[in-house]
Structure 1
Amino acid sequence: MENALITGATKGIGRAIAFAFAKQGLNLAICSRNVEDLTQMTNELLQVNPNIQVITRVTDCSIKQQVIDFATHAQQQLGFIKVLVNNVGIFEYASILDDDDEAFNRQMNTNVMPAYELYRYFGKTMMAARKGHIFNICSVASVAPVATAGTYGVTKAALYSLSNIMRLEMQEHGVKVTAILPGSTLTESWAGTDLNPDRFVAADDVAAAIISCYNMSSGANVDEVMIKPVLGQL
């Protein structure tokens, strides 16, 4: 049975991806800052597929050592991690000139650093095994930034660039790297909106795209997937 690690997996896109992989029969390592969320989600995942293992760890993904401890725990409990989903991220609505003093570090340490460190942790193992698939949840803002979320766009562009470097480093070793660029997606970031859900991409749509990429033949890699609302970005 294959193993997947997903950061920020108890809400939104990460949650949808976790359930999609559970239905595929993959063991899961998931993290969150909230132990109650992890416990509840573990029970729900095992109801969907009682034949998988679910490994959890309370982790603040903005702290390097906690990210590494989560990776170590997952590898010790499950063995080889074939699928890495760098999902954790934060969105802050502000222009760069209006950022508080810690905005840049806070968003870089959440939106970029965990993916960088987990790639360094698992990359050589995947390289040696000549198998693996890394999914980086970027954003449409990676390539089409908006001034009202300036630092967010900068950090997502950095993650997108990191994805491209990962792919170049890994392609001769048979390891796949896919950047996912969702547009406006109905997650907790839009809590309280009175807009029709049809104005958004659904988190399950992002998960479905990932599963489609994952299930392709060993010779095929989807470099990137952009998913936007049919009526345009919000």
Structure 2
Amino acid sequence: MQQTDGVLAGKTALVTGASAGIGWATAVALAQRGANLVVTARREERLRRLCAEAESLGVKVAFHAGDAADEVTAQQAVELAIGTFGRLDILINNAGAGNYKGLVDTSAEEYDALMNANMRSGFLFSRYAAPHMIAAKCGTILFVSSVAGLQGVAGESVYCATKFAQAGFSQALDAELRKHGIKVGTIFPGGVKSEFALGHGRTEEFIRNSQMMEPAEVAEAIVYACTLPPNVRIPQMTVRHMG
């Protein structure tokens, strides 16, 4: 069995969108630092494989399969964390989707789907996690946004809108929850080599030949924000590749 470094030993982290990409890598990185995990995504078989990998590091893991934009999923995942581990210290709102299209080619249904995946999911999980963190007088809530949440990009108007929304929501929560000892922040990654937006504006060839970051590289930045001293927080962090 591999050994963790113990920095987050005794902590419990909940990661949404954990079946691939940044979510998977972040869950593993948190486990490497000793955190127990609750992971959630729609693909159960992948979650089972992730749990096996994390458990090989010596931490305890539970999973809940479901759509992060579904209120029941958020309720049950948070309840699973509290019921299994008795606490919830870290929430990584990573679940999301990409669909890169021009305005006139984007349907109202696609708008709703993106807003639900990227914004509603974070609202729901934060809504149900916050009471437990308020009671504990501590906690960390991080939103995985995008550099598209910092500057609008042609052909990505709706996607950018959802990512800007995450940033504004996070800023407001920071102002609301900091008095309870809760840290709230947003991570703004540049391009990442993953399944994200594959078939919705990105191709396998583009991803393979790009200089985009590996998911594990972004995960290190996310976990860094989770391991700071109690009096230190990162409201915003931009993470870019060297290309």
SS of corresponding position for 1:217:
coil
What aligned pairs does 1:54-203 form with structure 2 within 5 A after superposition?
A: 54-189=61-196, 192-193=204-205, 199-203=211-215
Find the residue that maps to 2:232 and give its secondary structure.
coil
Selected match of 1:210 from 214, 219, 222: 222
Q: RMSD of the TM alignment (CA)?
A: 1.6
Question: 2:25 aligns to what?
Answer: 16
CA contact (8 A) 1:4 1:29 kept: yes
Counterpart Cα distance in 1 of 2:46 and 2:115: 24
Runs of 4+ in 1 over 3 A off after TM superposition: 194-198
- Which whole-Å CA distance do the structure 2 matches of 1:222 and 1:75 have between them? 25
Structure 1 spans left out of the alignment, 5+ residues? none
Q: What percentage of residue pairs aligned between the two structures are identical? A: 28
| Aligned residue in 1 for 2:235 | 223
Q: TM-score, normalised by structure 2?
A: 0.89
Deviation, 1:170, is 1.3
CA–CA separation in structure 2 for the residues paired with 1:56 and 1:107:
24
TM-score normalised by L of structure 1: 0.92
CA distance 1:191–1:99, shift in 2 (3 Å): closer
Aligned residues: 229
Cα gap change, 1:162/1:12 in structure 2, threshold over 3 Å: closer, same or farther?
same
How has the CA–CA distance of structure 1 residues 102 and 194 changed in structure 2, closer, same or farther, with 3 Å as cutoff?
A: closer
User: Residues 183 and 227 of structure 1 are in contact (CA less than 8 Å); yes or no, is this contact kept in structure 2?
Assistant: yes
**What is the SS of the residue equivalent to 2:108?**
coil
Instruction: Report deviation, 1:64.
Output: 2.0
* 1:38 aligned residue: 47
Q: Distance in 1 between matches of 2:18 and 2:230?
A: 26
Q: Does 1:2 align with 2:23?
A: no
- In terms of mean alpha carbon deviation, does 57-66 or 19-28 score higher? 57-66
Is 1:178–1:224's contact at 8 Å kept on the other side of the alignment? yes
Equivalent-residue separation in structure 1 for 2:80 and 2:180 (angstroms)? 25
> How far does the alpha carbon of each residue in 1:121-180 deviate from its partner, in whole angstroms, 9 at most, with x for none?
121221221110111001100111212121111011101111101100111221111210
Task: Measure how far apart 1:113 and its partner are.
Answer: 0.8
